Chains A and B, each alone.
Chain A
Amino acid sequence: MPLRSSSSLVRPAGSGRANGPGTSPARHPAGSRQHARGARAERLAPYILLAPAILIIVALRLWPLLLGVNFSFTGDGADNGTTVGWANYLELLEDPLFRGALGNVGLLVVLLPVAVAIPGLLATFIYLRVPGHRVYRSVYFFPAVLSPVIIGAIFNLMLAFDGPLNAVLAVIGLGPVDWLGDPDVAKFTVVGVHIWATFGMALVVFLAGFASLNPSLLDAARVDGASLRQSIWHVIIPSLTRTIQFVFVTTMIGMLTSMFGLLYVMTSGGPEGSTYLPEYYIWIQQGQMNRPALASAASTVLFLIMLVAGLLQISVLRRAGREN
């Protein structure tokens, strides 16, 4: 209480609005109790108001996550429910299929610049008003509205061994390529189709970035006699750094999280397991092999990878924000 009585003279920082300057507790002894309750209520209010959101996150997100991690340390089949330590993780480490799946994640990261460069380049052409740019703008976006299953089915037909693409290749005298049956080709085929299907979104982001580009810079470059390549390299790319970084982040998330549908429809992880990704591996172990605990372990590994990727992305975005 001494603090409270002195509050009318010197209000310490952090004492809150409850004992504001207009109310003198000494003059209203009955009101002081009310105020004490009010202050407590005020102090608790934010927690109470936050409680539903926190409880929902804890109960529906964090708690299941912990259960999943805990489950990954138990056995499958006859060992269901018994603790097996790190056995599932060791099995993953020894499974060439899972290692291949992780390797393919690495491949996706390596191919990321290509996936960003394609929409960037096409957006540049549209911005520079190549003939027919209005048509291209909508045509490029069109695949983005199709579901991966439909896209997969279309390309299954197109890329079949006796399909149209190989027929066209035969006309120009090139041997048939087993697009989905050759392990060295199939993973690039699937990534190619994924890029084709999703670059429309990145293109729109790039076009939005171009809208904020100062055209006088390009005009100045043109007056100075810069070639197209020079304008792109020295004017457009530096001006769009932030957009490019954003597209990098979103494309990476897209590649790591939304290729399941395509894989499922186009290759089923094959041929020879060459197009496995961790998600597909998890699905196979849980659904087909009846190994839910092993699938949990794989999920945990995937979660950690995504966590690291996510943190890296956040730091990249932050740095980009500071630069601007």
Chain B
Amino acid sequence: MKQRTLWSAVMVLGLGLAGCGSATRPASTPAESAKATKLVVWDWKSGDASAASYIQKAKADFAKKHPDVTLEFVAQPFEQYYTLLGAAIQSSTGPDVMLFNGGGQIRDRVGSLLPLDPYVTEDRQRLAGWDAFTKDGKTYAAPVTLQGHPIYYNKTLYEKAGLDPAKPAKTWDEFVGDCATIKKATGATCFALGNKEGIGIQFFLSGLGSSVLTPSEYDNWIAGKRDWTSPGVKKIFELWKESGDSGLNNEGANSTAMFNDAFSIFDAGKAAHIIGLMSDIGHWKDFSEFLGADKVGVMTAPLSITGATPSLPYDGGIGYAVAKWTKDPELASDLVRSLTATDALTSFYADAGAIASDTTIDVSQGPVAVGTIVSQLKSGKPALHVALSSKTLDLMGRLSQKLLSGSASVDDVVEELAASDRAS
């Protein structure tokens, strides 16, 4: 009987230890990685083939400064990225350096990030797009790419319709007229739009906003003084509804995914225009593969009111930030600086087609579309939708679907958005 007690005790102990072992192991990994001889980086880019040479050059640059520090890049799936990061932040364990989208995604999480201002002073002038990673005057990440919403157009369709591809419309009315001509000649719709995820409205708001709002209205919006019921803001949503009602969009926009069904529509020449992206995907390089590099044009937003000055909407797209819990902030910041070095970013531009944050990169050899985009960077302004909280963006996505399906009016929509914007 004594033996039986002993056995049960041994079993309890054994099971207990086994249980402890498996429970504590995941927790101990980040602790080890936080040693100053190793840095762990989380992103969703380093696994891509097109980012391989970028990562390699950044690693080489870092190795020159800190040869004895090992780097571990963990490529997470993007759909899961912020969920996984959220869990890591909750437990204050996780990577030392991590990739962020600019705007709401990083601003919601600055509590767990290290202000980088003292470390990146030398890069201030060379890199553009800092604002998207700044909150309350402090910078939390260094921009790698710029993300914005140029209006791309298909020059082949313009030619087929007898329009001059070098002179796209300057005003909204001309634009709608051109679209009617193209539709008649080629059957292609005016816009390729995907609003299944509610992202279409974000692109639309930012892509056309500068042609509807006066410069002071625009700047106020970015500064947080947003008057949702002003005629200008209402006009944007009216244009959105109008393009749906008058058949400017492809059919079934609410069930078409922006990523990547809407891009495919434009690629296939079934739509003449698309408000696309500058980096990652849905950009000049992607479109060029299907339409030909010289057939992809970039136009400024067609004017809806006099007094507006159309500009390219863009922000810092993605950028690397440093976690608060990293053991050696200076080391981690050095890695961020290597990840934004000119050499590395040039590779990223060349291989992935991203418009990199580095303003010293020479793009004169690239296609016309890139030249147009880069030439507009100077006069460009932050995109309107990036200034909104993720909660308001989510709501805007759902309401924009209602506008397209006709189950909500513009007045109701701006009122609801104003309430959500005030609350967040």
Contacts and interface: CB of A to CB of B under 8 A. Distances in A.
A181 B197 CA distance: 11
Interface residues of B, number: 40
A290 B390 contact: yes
A265 to B, nearest CB: 10
A44 B12 CA distance: 13
A234 interface: no
Interface in B105-155: 108-109, 111
Nearest to A77: B108
Interface residues of A, number: 44
B83 A283 contact: yes
A270 B197 contact: yes
A270 B405 CA distance: 12
B252 A271 contact: no
Interface string A138-182: 000000000000000000000111100000000000001011111
Contacts of B86: 286-287, 290, 292
Contact of B251 (A38, A48, A80, A162): A162
A283 B109 CA distance: 17
Contacts of A159: 255
Contacts of B402: 272
B401 interface: yes
Contact of A268 (B197, B261, B390): B197
A204 interface: no
Interface centre among A45, A77, A290, by most chain B C-beta atoms within 10 angstroms, is A290
B185 interface: no
B330 interface: no
Interface string B296-310: 000000000000000
Contacts of B9: 48
B253 A181 contact: yes
B398 interface: yes
Contacts of A60: 23
Contact of A289 (B4, B255, B390, B399): B390
Contacts of B11: 49, 52
B195 to A, nearest CB: 8
A153 to B, nearest CB: 11
A41 B19 contact: no
A59 B196 contact: no
Main SS class of interface, A:
helix
B5 interface: yes
A241 B274 CA distance: 58
B365 interface: no
B60 interface: no
B64 interface: no
Contacts of A97: 398
Given A55-B19, A270-B254, A283-B83, A288 B8 contact: no
A56 interface: yes
A162 B109 CA distance: 40
Contacts of B216: none
Contact of A287 (B83, B196, B391): B83
Contacts of B246: none
Contacts of A284: 394
A59 B15 CA distance: 13
A272 B252 CA distance: 14
A273 B80 CA distance: 20
A51 interface: yes
B90 A178 contact: no
Interface in A54-78: 55-56, 59-60, 77-78
A180 B196 contact: yes
B391 A161 contact: no
A37 interface: yes
A219 to B, nearest CB: 51
B290 interface: no
Interface in B217-256: 251-256
A162 B265 CA distance: 11
Contacts of A179: 255
Contacts of B111: 77-78, 80
Interface in B1-57: 1-2, 4-5, 8-9, 11-12, 15-16, 19, 23
B319 interface: no
A161 B251 contact: yes
A292 B402 CA distance: 28
A270 B404 CA distance: 13
Contact of A270 (B23, B252, B390, B398): B398
Given A161-B256, A271-B255, A292-B90, A181 B407 contact: no
A48 B405 contact: no
Nearest to A76: B108
Interface centre among B15, B252, B256, by most chain A C-beta atoms within 10 angstroms, is B252
Interface string A165-204: 0000000000010111111001000000000000000000
B207 interface: no
Given A38-B2, A42-B1, A289 B391 contact: yes
Contact of B196 (A37, A51, A182, A270): A270
B198 interface: yes
Nearest to B81: A287
Contact of B12 (A38, A48, A181): A48
Nearest to B5: A41
A51 B11 CA distance: 10
A270 B402 CA distance: 11
A55 B1 CA distance: 24
Interface centre among B90, B109, B394, by most chain A C-beta atoms within 10 angstroms, is B394
4 nearest CB pairs, A to B? A161-B252, A181-B255, A287-B83, A181-B254
Interface of B: 1-2, 4-5, 8-9, 11-12, 15-16, 19, 23, 80, 82-83, 86, 90, 108-109, 111, 196-198, 251-256, 261, 390-391, 394, 397-399, 401-402, 405, 407
Interface of A: 37-38, 41-42, 44-45, 48-49, 51-52, 55-56, 59-60, 77-78, 80, 97, 159-162, 176, 178-183, 186, 267-268, 270-273, 283-284, 286-290, 292
18 contacts: A37-B1, A41-B1, A41-B5, A45-B4, A52-B12, A77-B111, A161-B255, A180-B255, A181-B401, A267-B196, A268-B196, A270-B197, A270-B198, A272-B405, A286-B83, A288-B394, A290-B86, A290-B109
